Protein backbone atom coordinates (compact mmCIF):
# COMPACT_ATOMS: atom_id res chain seq x y z
CA UNK A 1 0.00 0.00 0.00
CA UNK A 2 2.84 2.41 0.86
CA UNK A 3 4.54 1.71 -2.46
CA UNK A 4 1.29 2.12 -4.39
CA UNK A 5 0.63 5.44 -2.65
CA UNK A 6 4.13 6.66 -3.51
CA UNK A 7 3.67 5.66 -7.17
CA UNK A 8 0.32 7.43 -7.42
CA UNK A 9 1.59 10.60 -5.74
CA UNK A 10 4.72 10.59 -7.89
CA UNK A 11 2.49 10.45 -10.97
CA UNK A 12 0.39 13.35 -9.72
CA UNK A 13 3.54 15.32 -8.89
CA UNK A 14 4.98 14.64 -12.35
CA UNK A 15 1.73 15.95 -13.86
CA UNK A 16 2.06 19.13 -11.79
CA UNK A 17 5.59 19.55 -13.11
CA UNK A 18 4.47 19.38 -16.73
CA UNK A 19 2.32 22.51 -16.37
CA UNK A 20 3.82 24.79 -19.07
CA UNK A 21 4.17 28.03 -17.10
CA UNK A 22 6.62 29.73 -19.47
CA UNK A 23 4.75 28.70 -22.61
CA UNK A 24 1.43 29.97 -21.26
CA UNK A 25 2.75 33.28 -19.93
CA UNK A 26 4.84 33.99 -23.03
CA UNK A 27 1.96 32.85 -25.25
CA UNK A 28 -0.22 35.56 -23.74
CA UNK A 29 2.39 37.98 -25.10
CA UNK A 30 2.15 36.30 -28.52
CA UNK A 31 5.59 34.76 -28.16
CA UNK A 32 6.66 31.14 -28.54
CA UNK A 33 9.37 31.03 -25.89
CA UNK A 34 10.90 27.89 -27.39
CA UNK A 35 11.74 29.80 -30.59
CA UNK A 36 13.60 32.73 -29.05
CA UNK A 37 16.76 33.19 -27.01
CA UNK A 38 18.05 29.90 -25.65
CA UNK A 39 14.80 28.17 -26.57
CA UNK A 40 14.48 26.98 -22.98
CA UNK A 41 10.92 27.23 -21.60
CA UNK A 42 12.02 28.62 -18.26
CA UNK A 43 11.94 31.81 -16.26
CA UNK A 44 15.41 33.00 -17.30
CA UNK A 45 14.59 32.91 -21.01
CA UNK A 46 11.30 34.68 -20.33
CA UNK A 47 13.10 37.41 -18.37
CA UNK A 48 15.59 37.78 -21.19
CA UNK A 49 12.89 38.21 -23.82
CA UNK A 50 9.90 39.68 -22.00
CA UNK A 51 11.35 41.44 -18.96
CA UNK A 52 11.61 40.87 -15.23
CA UNK A 53 7.92 41.27 -14.39
CA UNK A 54 6.82 38.57 -16.80
CA UNK A 55 9.76 36.36 -15.93
CA UNK A 56 9.03 36.62 -12.22
CA UNK A 57 5.49 35.39 -12.84
CA UNK A 58 6.93 32.30 -14.55
CA UNK A 59 9.49 31.86 -11.77
CA UNK A 60 6.77 31.83 -9.10
CA UNK A 61 4.50 29.55 -11.11
CA UNK A 62 7.34 27.07 -11.59
CA UNK A 63 8.08 27.20 -7.87
CA UNK A 64 4.44 26.50 -7.10
CA UNK A 65 4.47 23.24 -9.05
CA UNK A 66 6.95 21.48 -6.75
CA UNK A 67 5.63 23.27 -3.67
CA UNK A 68 2.19 21.79 -4.37
CA UNK A 69 3.73 18.37 -4.96
CA UNK A 70 5.50 18.43 -1.60
CA UNK A 71 2.33 19.79 -0.01
CA UNK A 72 0.40 16.77 -1.24
CA UNK A 73 2.98 14.49 0.36
CA UNK A 74 2.59 16.42 3.61
CA UNK A 75 -1.14 15.85 3.46
CA UNK A 76 -0.84 12.06 3.57
CA UNK A 77 2.13 11.47 5.86
CA UNK A 78 3.11 12.53 9.36
CA UNK A 79 6.81 12.61 8.40
CA UNK A 80 6.82 15.93 6.60
CA UNK A 81 10.48 15.70 5.59
CA UNK A 82 10.33 12.00 4.91
CA UNK A 83 11.09 10.10 1.69
CA UNK A 84 7.63 10.68 0.24
CA UNK A 85 8.17 14.46 0.19
CA UNK A 86 11.39 13.99 -1.76
CA UNK A 87 9.79 11.49 -4.14
CA UNK A 88 7.10 14.05 -4.96
CA UNK A 89 9.67 16.84 -5.24
CA UNK A 90 11.84 14.88 -7.66
CA UNK A 91 8.81 13.76 -9.68
CA UNK A 92 7.69 17.37 -10.12
CA UNK A 93 11.19 18.40 -11.24
CA UNK A 94 11.32 15.55 -13.76
CA UNK A 95 7.90 16.58 -15.04
CA UNK A 96 9.10 20.16 -15.40
CA UNK A 97 12.35 19.18 -17.12
CA UNK A 98 11.01 16.32 -19.24
CA UNK A 99 7.28 16.94 -19.81
CA UNK A 100 5.60 14.24 -21.85
CA UNK A 101 3.20 16.92 -23.10
CA UNK A 102 6.04 18.84 -24.80
CA UNK A 103 8.08 15.97 -26.25
CA UNK A 104 10.19 15.84 -23.06
CA UNK A 105 11.63 19.32 -23.69
CA UNK A 106 11.27 21.43 -20.58
CA UNK A 107 13.07 23.70 -18.16
CA UNK A 108 16.16 23.10 -16.06
CA UNK A 109 14.54 22.60 -12.70
CA UNK A 110 16.00 25.45 -10.67
CA UNK A 111 12.83 27.42 -9.93
CA UNK A 112 10.70 24.29 -9.74
CA UNK A 113 13.09 22.58 -7.33
CA UNK A 114 13.39 25.78 -5.36
CA UNK A 115 9.65 25.78 -4.73
CA UNK A 116 9.76 22.33 -3.21
CA UNK A 117 12.80 23.16 -1.12
CA UNK A 118 11.02 26.30 0.11
CA UNK A 119 8.45 24.04 1.75
CA UNK A 120 11.09 21.71 3.20
CA UNK A 121 13.76 24.24 4.22
CA UNK A 122 12.24 27.75 4.20
CA UNK A 123 15.17 29.63 5.76
CA UNK A 124 17.83 28.25 3.42
CA UNK A 125 15.52 28.67 0.44
CA UNK A 126 14.74 32.29 1.30
CA UNK A 127 18.45 33.11 1.43
CA UNK A 128 19.15 31.30 -1.84
CA UNK A 129 16.06 32.76 -3.52
CA UNK A 130 17.26 36.26 -2.69
CA UNK A 131 20.81 35.39 -3.70
CA UNK A 132 19.64 34.26 -7.14
CA UNK A 133 18.28 37.72 -7.92
CA UNK A 134 21.35 39.48 -6.53
CA UNK A 135 23.74 37.25 -8.50
CA UNK A 136 21.68 37.55 -11.66
CA UNK A 137 21.63 41.32 -11.40
CA UNK A 138 25.37 41.58 -10.70
CA UNK A 139 26.71 38.96 -13.14
CA UNK A 140 23.90 39.32 -15.70
CA UNK A 141 24.15 35.55 -16.17
CA UNK A 142 21.20 33.53 -14.89
CA UNK A 143 23.17 30.31 -15.30
CA UNK A 144 25.90 31.51 -12.92
CA UNK A 145 23.28 32.45 -10.34
CA UNK A 146 21.42 29.15 -10.77
CA UNK A 147 24.52 27.01 -10.47
CA UNK A 148 25.83 28.97 -7.50
CA UNK A 149 22.68 28.64 -5.41
CA UNK A 150 22.28 24.99 -6.41
CA UNK A 151 25.79 24.12 -5.22
CA UNK A 152 25.17 26.07 -2.00
CA UNK A 153 21.91 24.22 -1.29
CA UNK A 154 23.31 21.08 0.44
CA UNK A 155 25.46 23.25 2.72
CA UNK A 156 22.49 25.43 3.61
CA UNK A 157 20.20 22.56 4.55
CA UNK A 158 23.00 20.98 6.60
CA UNK A 159 23.01 24.05 8.82
CA UNK A 160 19.20 23.94 8.93
CA UNK A 161 19.31 20.47 10.44
CA UNK A 162 18.90 18.16 7.44
CA UNK A 163 19.48 14.45 7.90
CA UNK A 164 22.38 12.81 6.05
CA UNK A 165 20.10 11.09 3.55
CA UNK A 166 18.37 14.42 2.82
CA UNK A 167 21.73 16.00 2.06
CA UNK A 168 22.58 13.07 -0.22
CA UNK A 169 19.25 13.46 -2.03
CA UNK A 170 19.91 17.17 -2.45
CA UNK A 171 23.40 16.50 -3.81
CA UNK A 172 21.76 14.23 -6.41
CA UNK A 173 19.46 17.12 -7.33
CA UNK A 174 22.46 19.45 -7.69
CA UNK A 175 24.17 16.95 -10.01
CA UNK A 176 20.99 16.84 -12.11
CA UNK A 177 20.84 20.63 -12.35
CA UNK A 178 24.53 20.90 -13.26
CA UNK A 179 23.99 18.31 -16.00
CA UNK A 180 21.06 20.34 -17.34
CA UNK A 181 23.34 23.39 -17.41
CA UNK A 182 26.21 21.80 -19.36
CA UNK A 183 25.32 23.78 -22.53
CA UNK A 184 25.40 26.97 -20.43
CA UNK A 185 28.81 26.05 -19.03
CA UNK A 186 30.14 25.53 -22.54
CA UNK A 187 28.74 28.93 -23.59
CA UNK A 188 30.23 30.57 -20.51
CA UNK A 189 33.62 29.09 -21.39
CA UNK A 190 33.41 30.42 -24.96
CA UNK A 191 31.92 33.77 -23.76
CA UNK A 192 28.74 33.11 -25.75
CA UNK A 193 26.33 32.92 -22.83
CA UNK A 194 23.68 35.64 -23.31
CA UNK A 195 23.11 38.27 -20.66
CA UNK A 196 19.84 38.49 -18.83
Query: Cα(58)–Cα(37) distance, rounded to whole angstroms?
Result: 16
58 neighbors 21 (Cβ within 8 angstroms): yes
pLDDT at 192 over 90: no
Query: Cα(116)–Cα(112) distance, rounded to whole angstroms?
Result: 7
Q: How confident is the model at residue 40 (pLDDT cuts 50, 70, 90)?
A: confident
Whether the pTM exceeds 0.85: the reply is: yes
pLDDT of residue 1: 62
Question: Rounded mean pLDDT of 51-61?
Answer: 93
| Percentage of the residues of the chain whose pLDDT score is greater than 90 | 82
pLDDT tens-digit series, residues 63-86: 999 999 999 999 888 788 899 999
- In the Cβ-directed half-sphere of 109, how many Cα atoms lie within 13 Å? 27
Amino acid sequence: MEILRAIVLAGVSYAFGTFPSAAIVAGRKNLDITNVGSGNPGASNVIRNLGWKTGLAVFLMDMAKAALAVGIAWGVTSDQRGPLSYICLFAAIIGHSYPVTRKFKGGKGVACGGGGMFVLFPLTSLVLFSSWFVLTKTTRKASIASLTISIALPFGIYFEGAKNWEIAATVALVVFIIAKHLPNLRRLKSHDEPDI
